[in-house]
Amino acid sequence: MIREHRFVNDGWTFAYGEHPGAEREPADPDWFDVGLPHSFDLPDFRELRFYIGHGCYRRTLDVPESWAGKWIALEFLGVFQTAEVFVNGRPAGRHDGGYTPFTVDLSGLVQPGPNEVFVRVDNHWNPRLAPRGGDYSFNGGIYRDVSVIVADRVRIDWHGLGVTTPEADHARALVRAAVEVVNDEPHPVDVDVTAAITQAGRPVADLGPQRATIPGGATVTVELEGALDDPLLWHPDHP
C-alpha cells in the first residue's frame, strides 16, 4: 500500500497539571477544547512568566477496519519538552527533547473503532536537553503538527532514506541512496527496492532495482546507485 499520512491536529482536549491516572479515565469537566499546534501559555502570552509544569492532552482516534494488520504510528513533530504517550490507558512511548520529532508505534495497542490517546507533557528545565540562556523557548505543549501514519508491515522506515552524490559535475552525477527497509513480519521477506529521481514530476534517472532479503523482525539498509546526466548543480543563482 502507499503510505497514508493524516494530520490529527483537531479534536484534542487539554488540562493543566499532571493528572496521575487520567490516562485510564474519562476526561472531567476541567478539560477544554484545543487545536494543535498548542502552547501551555495560550492565550496569555502577555503574562510575565511562562507556565512551568505539566499539561495533558487527550483525543479519540478512530481506527477503520482497513487498518487491521498494518503498521500504525503517531508522528509528533515537536513536544516541549518531555512527552509520555498512552493509548487506551497503556504506555505507548516516551520522548525527551523539545526540538526533535518522534514516532510512537500504536500497532499492538489500537483496535478498530474509537481509541483514546493521552499525552502528558512536562516543560520543567532539564540541563541535559537545552541550555537555559540564549533564545531557547520553554513554553511547553504540543507545539507542532501531529499525524497518524499507516503503512505495510514491510516498509521503508520513518526517515529511512539517505542520498549522497560522491561524484558530481555539470556532465554527470553519481547518486547513491541508502534505504532502510523494515520487516515487522516474523518470517523473512524478499523485496525489490528501486528509486527514481524526478524533475518537474518527470523521472530523469533510476536507482536500482536491488533485490534483498529482510529477516523477520529486522531492519536492513539496501544500497542503490545510479547516474544522472546533465545534473542541475546547486548554485546561489539557481538554488
Distance, CA of 59 to CA of 131 (rounded, Å): 32
Which residues constitute the domain of residue 179? Answer: 154-229
Last residue of a domain, one of 130, 151, 172: 151
- Give tens-digit pLDDT for 26-83: 767 789 999 999 999 876 655 667 788 999 999 999 999 999 999 999 999 999 999 9
CATH number for the domain including 101?
2.60.120.260
Longest dimension (CA), the chain: 66
CATH number for the domain including 221?
2.60.40.10
Residues 23 and 139 in one domain: yes
Last residue of a domain, one of 109, 136, 151: 151
Q: How far is CA 104 from CA 77, 174, 199, in A?
A: 12, 36, 33
Does residue 236 form part of some domain? no
> What is the number of domains present in the chain?
2
Does residue 61 form part of some domain? yes
Q: Is 102 left (phi over 0), alpha (psi -120 to 50) or beta?
A: beta
- Give tens-digit pLDDT for 124-140: 988 887 776 666 777 89
Residues 136 and 163 in one domain: no
Last residue of a domain, one of 110, 134, 151: 151
Residues 42 and 102 in one domain: yes
Give the pTM. Answer: 0.90
Name the pLDDT band for 172 (thresholds 50, 70, 90): very high
Give 84's strand partners.
94, 120
Q: Is 158 left (phi over 0), alpha (psi -120 to 50) or beta?
A: beta
Does residue 237 form part of some domain? no
Residues 140 and 158 in one domain: no
Does residue 122 form part of some domain? yes
Q: For residue 39, what is the DSSP state? A: -
